[in-house]
Chains A and B, each alone.
Chain A
Amino acid sequence: MTNSWTDMDNASLVLVWGANPAENHPACFAHINAARKHQADTGNTGHTLVVVDPRQTRTARQADKHIRIRPGTDIALQNAVIRGIIARIEAGDPAATKFWAYLNQKGAGVFHTDGDANYPSKYVTTVASGQCSKYTDARFLVNNDADYERFTKMVASTGAEATTETADLVISSFPKKSDDCRNGNTVFNRLKAHVAPYTPAVAADICGCTTDDVDYLVGILIANSRHSSAGTFPPAAGAIAHPYGAAGSDADPRIAGYRCTTILYAMGMTQHTTGSTGIKGFANLQTLLGNMGRAGGGINALRGIHNVQGSTDMGLLYGNIPAYSANPTTMSTDASGNPTNAFGKYMDALWGAPLCGTAASGAPRNVSYYSLNDGTYNNAYGSSVMDLQQRGFYNMTRRWFADPAWETAVTGRAKIDGLYDLWPKGNGDDHITMFRQMAAGGYTKAAVVWGQNPAVTEPNQSAVRAGLENLDTLVVVDMYETETAACKRKTDGVTYLIPACSHVEEAGSVTNSARTLQWRERATTPRGNSKADLELLLRLAYALDGANAFSHIEAEWTRQTYSVTGSAYDHLYGNRFGWSPGSGTAFEGYTWSDAYTQKWTGTADAPTAPSTVLSGSEAVCERVYRESMSGVAAGGTLWIYTGGFGTALSGTEYNGTWAHPSIGEWKTYNRAKNRDNRDGAIVNTYDYRGTKAYGGWGYSWLVNRRVFYNNGEIPGDMGDWFMSPDSVSRLFVSTNTATLNYSRWYRTIHRLVDKPDVALAGPTTRHIVPGRFPSYTEPYETPRADLAAAWGRNTKGTAQWDLVKADTPIAGRQADASLYPLVLTTIRCVEHFQGGPTTRNNPWNVEAEPEPWIEINPVDARANNINHGDLVNVITARGNSTSDEIGRTKVGYDSTQFGKGFRARVDSGITAYQRVAPGVVAIPWHWGDRGLGQGSRANDLTVDAGDANSAIPEYKACLCKIQKIV
C-alpha cells in the first residue's frame, strides 16, 4: 500500500476494484465508512464508494455504483477510462488547467548519478529547474518506444548537450524533455496513442459493461482528483525541503473541498496473467489524476495475511534475499581462480550510489567520498561509503555467516569475498515449478512446509498432490493436522507434523499491508507440547549443525583463521541471539534485558517501564529485531526498516540520507512497540493534528512514512526527495536497464517482462506500444476466442513455467470453450481464511459458514435445470479427483459418480439477486478434507497459468462447465 489504512479516511472517493473489503478486510471497510461519513458531514453529496467487480460482492451492495465487468478484462476498462480522461481534459474540462500544470510541472533537483561505461559522471549533480520534472515523466521524450531519449552528456545548468566534460557540469544518460507534454514524441502522447483504440464501445464489448459505465468512471475520477480539489497549486516554493505543504495547498486533506480518490485492490485484480500489468494501470491512472503521494489517494493492495508484507520483506521468495535484494549469482572467483569482482558488481546493482565503475574517460572527478576506480572493484569493501541497500547487504553478509565476535575483523576484500561466497548463488524454483519438480520425480526430494497448506491453496491440485506424494521427506509445522500434513504419501515417504503455537503465545513484530510494524507481546507460553516458531527454528538449526549441514561455512572460517572453538550453531545463532538448545536452559526460561528493553503504554516520549526483563520469545525476538531493524550505519541488515530500532534521530541513523522527523512521535528504541494513538500532534511548531497518519502507532518503512511518493507536500509526513524532481512517477515502462542510469536509485524497479502474445505492429493496431503501457489481453482460458485472437493473451514471460511458455496448448491443461462454456472464478468469505486450517477448526466460524457453495446466474441455472439448493458439480479441464487422498469417500457425496469436480449446493444468487453475471460461476476456495468443516477443494479446478512478473496464478478466471447432481 502506498498509503495507510487510517489515511483512507481522507479520501473523497473510494474506488474498490477487484477487492471485497466488506468480507475480506472488514477493518478497511470501517475506514471507508469513516471517509464517507466525513464527506457527507462536509457537504459532499456526490458518490463516495464505487466498486468494479465481476461479482456483486457485499462491498458492491454497499456502494453508490457497482460496475460489473467480465473476469480478466480490467485493463481494457482502465485504458478506456484513461482515454476518456484525456479526451475530456482536452475538451476543456474545468480540471484541465491543473491537469496540464501538474504534468508539466518543473523543479530543480539534486541527483545521484553514476553515468555509464563511457561517461562516469560525478556522484551528486544539481540540475537546473527547467531540466527537471517534478511529478511525472509525461513530458519525457521517447526513443523508438523502447526507452527515453537521453543526453549522452548534458550540461546540468542549461540542459544542452555537452561537447566536453567538465568537473561539475556534466550529467549523463539524462532524459530529454519537451517543454510541454502535448508537444513532440512524449510519453504523454505515446500513452494517448496507446489508449486511443479503447473507445467506450470497444471497452463495453470486451468488459461486458456499458459505455455509460466508462463515462461515469471518467467523470467521477476527474471530479475526485487533485486537479479538481480545492487548495492552491503548485505548492509554494521550497515545499520539498519543508515538512508539509504551504497553508491552503491542495496537499492538505484538512481543507474544505479537498478531493482525492483512493484505489483499493486485492487478489481480484492480481490473480490474472496480467496481474502486475493491471496494477501498473492503476499507477498510471492515479499519476494522471495527481493522486499519487496525496493523503486519501494512492494505490493500495489489501494484502491477505497478517504478515504477508513482512514475510515478503524477509525474502521468503525464490528470487530474493531479505529487503528486496536479488539472490547473488556469481562466486567471487571463476573456475580458474581468477577474480570475478562479483561482490563489487553485486553491490553496484543495489539501490544507492555506485561504489565502483570503470573510468574509461579520465580520472575520477569532484567526488567527495567515493571514487570510480580502475576496474578492480576494491572500493566495494569500504562500509563508510556504502548507501542504504548496499550497507544492509554488507551487514547481512557478515551477520549471517560469521560470529559477532569476529565482526571487527571481518573487513577487507579477501574476508568479505569469502563470506559472500557462502550465499547460495542463483534463484530457487517458483512455487509452481517446485511442485511440478516433485511430481516429476525431479531433484526436489524433501520439503519443509512451515505454516502453509499448499494441498488446499496451490492451483491445479493434481500436480501439487502428486508432488507431495513423491517426496522422501515432508515436514509440516502447524497448529492443526492440515490437508498437507495428512496428504497421500508414497509407501516409504516419511512425514513429520510438528505442533506450533498460536499467535498469542509468541512475541515478535508483524508488518501490515500498510508497511506498519506492530509488536506482538507473548501473552502466555506455548500451550502443552506446542513450541514457538523461534524455538523450533533454533532447534532445527542446532540439529542441522549436528548433521554437519554447515560444514561448508566452518571450512571458510578455518580458511580465514578465526578462532572456531564452539559449534557452528553458536557462532551463527547462539552467540547472536542468546539461546542455545544445548545450554540446559529451556527456551521459554531464557531471560535478557538491557537499558533499552521497554514497555510502552501511551503517548509519553519515554517508555513506561525501561529495562524490563524479557523472557523466551520476547527476549530472543528483541535481539533478532535489533540486528535487523537498526539503522544500517549501526549494523542493521534490513535497509528498508532502517530506524525501526534506534536511540535517537540523527544523520548517522539513516546514513545521512533521511534525517527529517516524520510526524514527531518516533519515540525511541524498539519502535514496533510504539502505542501513541493520537491523530497527530504539534511538533516543532508544526500542527499535524487531524491528518489521520497516526505516526506514533508502530513504525512504518521507509522511515516511518505513512504516505509514499509525497513530494514533500503531505502534512504528517516528511519532505525529502524520495520522489523528487525526475525521480518521478513513471507512466512509461522501459525494459532497457540503462534507462535509469542517471538515477541509480530507481534502477532495479519498474520493469515488466510480460506482453501480449500477438504481434501487431503499426500505428492503427491495437497494442500500439506493447509492453510499454498496460495492454489488455484475454485470460489464458477464455470463451471469447475472437478477443483472444485480436488482442492476444499474456503468455510471454521470461520466468514462466511450461504451461505458459508453450505457444501451443498442452493437452489436458487448456480447455476448449465448446466443452467448458462458463468462466470460473474463486472467491472468499468473511468467516474463513485462506486454506482454512485456522478457521475451519473453530466451531463458531464453521457454524456461521459450514460448507462451500456455488454462485451461478439464473440464466445458466435455468439452462441446466438447476434450482436453489440443488447439488451441482463444477468441472474444468484439470484432471483432479476429489476423492479423499487416503481413500475415504467424501462425506455426503458419492465420489464414484463424479471422478472430478467441485461439488456443492447452489446458494442464494439464483433468484433473489444476481451475484454473478450470465456465463460466470463463482466458488469459495477455503475448504478441504480436514478440520471441523470440510468441503470440496476449489483449487482442484483452477489453472496454473500465471503472471510472468510475479508467478501469481490465474485463480480468477478459467473455463468450466456445471452439471446438476441428480
Chain B
Amino acid sequence: MASKANSKGGKGLSRRDFLKASAAGAAGLAAMDWAIAEPALAVQGMTEGVDYDTYHTTCPYCSASCGQVVAVSKGTQGHTLGEVLDLYGDADSPLNNGGLCAKGSGAYQLVTNPRRVGAFTGTHPVNSVFAADTTTYPDGVAYMRTGNGAWSAVALDTALSDIATRLTTARGPLSATNYNTKNVAFLGCSHMNNEQNYLYRKLIANFGSSNTEHQARI
C-alpha cells in the first residue's frame, strides 16, 4: 500500500521538519512553535534576487488560508528557470504568522509531485502516457479513454473540440421552453480561484444551464 516516502523533497523543508509539523499540528501548539521551516536556501549558498525570487500565495487546503511563500529558481546553480525550490509559511501573514500544518507543509510535494499528470518529463510513476511531452503537444494535451480502455494522449485543442461537440450535442437546441439544460452536469470547484469560478459559472450560463454544484457540503 503505502510505499515509504521519498523524502528528498523540498530544498528548504526537510522530511524531519514535515513530521514535526504533522505532530505539532495535531497537538495544537502555539503558532510560533508549530512548524516554521526557515528558508534554507541561504544554507545552500543561494541568494534571493540572484538565484531565486519569492512569491506570495495561500495554502491550497483548508479555509484558514494561511499565507505561503514560494521560492522559484532564476535558473542558477543547476536548477532550471521557473523551478519551485521551496514553499513555506508566510511570516508576514497575520492568519498563520509563518506556520503551516502537515498538509500545508506538504504542499511542496503537491506542486513538485512527479505523479501529477502531464506536468513533468521523464518516467511517470503511474502511467507512462502521463509524462509531459511539450515537443509532441506544444499547445497542451488531454488524455482520453473509451470504455475501460487505456489512456491515450491527444492534442488539447483536438480534445476540447470533441468535448465541445459532445456537450453541445448532449444539450440539444435551446428554445424558449428549454432554457435550462440539465443534460450536462457541471461539477465545480472550491479548488479554483474566484476569477476562475466566476468564468466557469459564466460559461455554464452562456451554455444555457444552471446544472452545477461544487464541494460546499463535504
Bound CA span A491–B120, Å: 31
Contact A428 B209 (CB under 8 A): yes
Q: Is B167 an interface residue (CB 8 A)?
A: yes
Q: Is A72 an interface residue (CB 8 A)?
A: no
Asked whether A525 and B185 contact (CB < 8 A) given A307-B193, A427-B210, the answer is no
Contact A302 B63 (CB under 8 A): yes
Bound CA span A537–B207, Å: 13
1/0 per residue, CB under 8 A from B, across A540-564: the answer is: 1111101111101100000000000
- Among B127, B166, B211, chain A packs the most CB atoms within 10 A around the CB of B211
1/0 per residue, CB under 8 A from A, across B147-170: the answer is: 110010000110111111111101
Contact A473 B170 (CB under 8 A): yes
Contact A424 B203 (CB under 8 A): no
1/0 per residue, CB under 8 A from B, across A513-541: the answer is: 10011111111111111110110011111
Contact A30 B34 (CB under 8 A): yes
Contacts of B216 in A (CB 8 A): 308, 311-312, 317
Contacts of B206 in A (CB 8 A): 400-401, 541, 544, 549-550, 553, 572
Contact B163 A850 (CB under 8 A): no
Q: Is A404 an interface residue (CB 8 A)?
A: no
Contact A503 B60 (CB under 8 A): yes
Bound CA span A309–B194, Å: 9
Bound CA span A651–B61, Å: 37
6 tightest Cβ-Cβ pairs between the two chains A and B? A508-B193, A528-B132, A850-B2, A428-B211, A499-B118, A30-B31
1/0 per residue, CB under 8 A from B, across A419-461: the answer is: 0011111111111001001100001111111111010010000
Asked whether A504 and B134 contact (CB < 8 A) given A522-B55, A844-B5, the answer is no
Contact A26 B101 (CB under 8 A): yes
Contact A624 B116 (CB under 8 A): no
Contact A512 B84 (CB under 8 A): no
Contacts of B197 in A (CB 8 A): 307, 310-311, 314, 316
Contact A447 B15 (CB under 8 A): no
Contact B194 A313 (CB under 8 A): yes
Bound CA span A708–B205, Å: 31
Q: Is A787 an interface residue (CB 8 A)?
A: no
Contact A628 B195 (CB under 8 A): yes
Q: Is A898 an interface residue (CB 8 A)?
A: no
Contacts of A521 in B (CB 8 A): 55-57, 70
Asked whether A489 and B147 contact (CB < 8 A) given A33-B30, A839-B103, the answer is yes
1/0 per residue, CB under 8 A from A, across B105-149: the answer is: 111011101011111110000110010111001011111111110
Q: Is B102 an interface residue (CB 8 A)?
A: yes
Q: Is B184 an interface residue (CB 8 A)?
A: yes
Asked whether A830 and B93 contact (CB < 8 A) given A318-B212, A473-B170, the answer is no
Q: Is B62 an interface residue (CB 8 A)?
A: yes
Bound CA span A457–B206, Å: 28
CB distance from B105 to the nearest CB of A (A): 8
* Pick from B97, B130, B162, B187: contact of A481, CB under 8 Å: B130
Q: Is B7 an interface residue (CB 8 A)?
A: yes
Contact A543 B193 (CB under 8 A): no
Contacts of A628 in B (CB 8 A): 194-195, 198
Contacts of B92 in A (CB 8 A): 675, 677
Closest to B158 in A: A543
1/0 per residue, CB under 8 A from A, across B69-105: the answer is: 0101000000000111001000011111101011101
Contacts of A831 in B (CB 8 A): 22, 102-103, 106
Contact B9 A844 (CB under 8 A): yes
Bound CA span A509–B59, Å: 12
Asked whether A452 and B189 contact (CB < 8 A) given A510-B58, A528-B121, the answer is yes
Contacts of A327 in B (CB 8 A): 180, 210
Stretch among A83-91, A804-812, A930-938 lining the B interface: A930-938
CB distance from A189 to the nearest CB of B (A): 36
Contacts of A25 in B (CB 8 A): 62-64
Bound CA span A506–B111, Å: 12
Report how many residues on chain A are interfacial, defined by Cβ distance under 8 Å: 185
* Pick from A450, A838, A847: contact of B188, CB under 8 Å: A450
Contact B60 A318 (CB under 8 A): no
Contact B119 A305 (CB under 8 A): no
Contacts of B218 in A (CB 8 A): 267, 304, 457, 834-835, 955
Instruction: Kindly list 11 other residue pairs between chains A and B, CB separation below 8 angstroms, not including A307-B63, A479-B116, A846-B3.
Output: A23-B25, A28-B64, A431-B187, A446-B170, A450-B187, A524-B82, A539-B140, A831-B103, A843-B7, A847-B15, A950-B217
Bound CA span A694–B67, Å: 14
Bound CA span A215–B92, Å: 43
Bound CA span A423–B207, Å: 10
Asked whether A848 and B22 contact (CB < 8 A) given A306-B63, A450-B192, A524-B83, the answer is yes
Q: Is B11 an interface residue (CB 8 A)?
A: no
Bound CA span A623–B125, Å: 38
- Among A489, A499, A697, A891, chain B packs the most CB atoms within 10 A around the CB of A499
Contact B4 A847 (CB under 8 A): yes
Bound CA span A540–B196, Å: 13
CB distance from B133 to the nearest CB of A (A): 7
Give chain A interface residues in 894-932, CB to chain B under 8 Å: 931-932
* Pick from B65, B113, B167, B217: contact of A952, CB under 8 Å: B217
Report how many residues on chain B are interfacial, defined by Cβ distance under 8 Å: 137
Contacts of B84 in A (CB 8 A): 504, 523-524
Contact A30 B99 (CB under 8 A): yes
Contact A851 B1 (CB under 8 A): yes
Give chain A interface residues in 447-506, CB to chain B under 8 Å: 447-452, 454, 457, 472-473, 475, 478-481, 488-499, 501-506
Q: Is A679 an interface residue (CB 8 A)?
A: yes
Asked whether A830 and B22 contact (CB < 8 A) given A26-B34, A62-B28, A628-B195, the answer is yes
Contact B183 A445 (CB under 8 A): yes
Asked whether A842 and B134 contact (CB < 8 A) given A33-B31, A308-B216, the answer is no
Contact B3 A932 (CB under 8 A): yes
Closest to B10 in A: A844
Give chain A interface residues in 280-316, CB to chain B under 8 Å: 302-316
Asked whether A552 and B174 contact (CB < 8 A) given A429-B182, A450-B188, A546-B161, the answer is yes
Closest to A310 in B: B194
Contact B212 A317 (CB under 8 A): yes
Contact A494 B146 (CB under 8 A): yes
Bound CA span A950–B214, Å: 13
Closest to A847 in B: B5
Contact B118 A538 (CB under 8 A): no
Contact A311 B190 (CB under 8 A): yes
Q: Is A592 an interface residue (CB 8 A)?
A: no
* Pick from B29, B170, B193, B198: contact of A520, CB under 8 Å: B193
Contacts of B103 in A (CB 8 A): 830-833, 839, 845
* Pick from A310, A313, A444, A496: contact of B142, CB under 8 Å: A496
Q: Can you report 15 A-B residue pairs in the complex whose CB atoms are below 8 A from each other?
A: A5-B95, A28-B64, A302-B62, A303-B62, A308-B63, A447-B185, A499-B130, A510-B193, A518-B67, A531-B140, A543-B161, A547-B168, A830-B26, A842-B113, A846-B5
Bound CA span A552–B116, Å: 38
Contact B120 A528 (CB under 8 A): yes
Asked whether A479 and B31 contact (CB < 8 A) given A509-B194, A512-B65, the answer is no
Contact B203 A541 (CB under 8 A): yes
Contact A499 B30 (CB under 8 A): no
* Pick from B1, B87, B142, B202: contact of A504, CB under 8 Å: B87
1/0 per residue, CB under 8 A from A, across B20-45: the answer is: 00100111111100100000000000
Q: Is A507 an interface residue (CB 8 A)?
A: yes
Closest to B181 in A: A424
Bound CA span A517–B58, Å: 10
Contact A446 B113 (CB under 8 A): no
Bound CA span A562–B33, Å: 62
Contacts of B61 in A (CB 8 A): 305-306, 833, 838
- Among A401, A501, A523, A833, chain B packs the most CB atoms within 10 A around the CB of A523
Contact A549 B57 (CB under 8 A): no
1/0 per residue, CB under 8 A from B, across A878-894: the answer is: 00000000100001100
Q: Is A271 an interface residue (CB 8 A)?
A: yes
